[in-house]
Amino acid sequence: MFRWLFNRSLTMIEQSTMKVTPGRCYRFRSRLEPPLSPNYFGNSFQTVTAMTTAGELLEHGLGWAAWKLNQAVVNHTDKSVRGFVNDWLQSPFVYQSSPQLYPRSVIIGSSPRFNMYGNEFGLGKALILRSGYGNKFDGKISPYPGREGEGSVDMEIFLPPLSMNALESDEVFMAAVSAPI
């Protein structure tokens, strides 16, 4: 998916500035000194972003993009969290994710604190994950620990019909993601 995104579509917008966004920093709790209690029930997250251009992504590749995201998360410290909270106290807002906030973005987010396959409501183990319609827009990716365990990952990728049709019409992409018949 990412190889197609970078190699096929980014060349069209090579000089455009875009955000590479790992979604929310879910380990906000442990970044505070002292850390929040594991029993803290409230939300504690902040969006962390790494800025780049499509041209830079094409030039440096996916490993470099992952490094940029890693640096953004590593630099998300007690000091930056407290600075964000102090700024918020001066001008409070309610966080709402929408495509207008992140045009031309790839946003990755999920909840590592919630065992998606571990909950059993009397119907058996879930076969597949769907996180619902809220906060979904073109390019939203939600990775979860996989059903099979052992380091597997299940990915929910939200693409509206127009984007999905473009993927399905791309022969190079379909050859890369389709099993041989």
Q: pLDDT tens digit string along 30-69? A: 788 888 887 887 777 777 777 777 778 778 887 888 888 8
**What's the CA gap between 167 and 162, in Å, rounded?**
9
Q: Which two tokens stand for residue 39?
A: 């029993």
Which residue ranges form the domains of the chain, and what is each CATH number? 2-114+125-177 (3.30.559.10)
Q: Which two tokens stand for residue 88?
A: 């918020």
Per residue in 8-38, pLDDT (tens digit) is 454 445 555 555 554 445 557 778 888 888 7
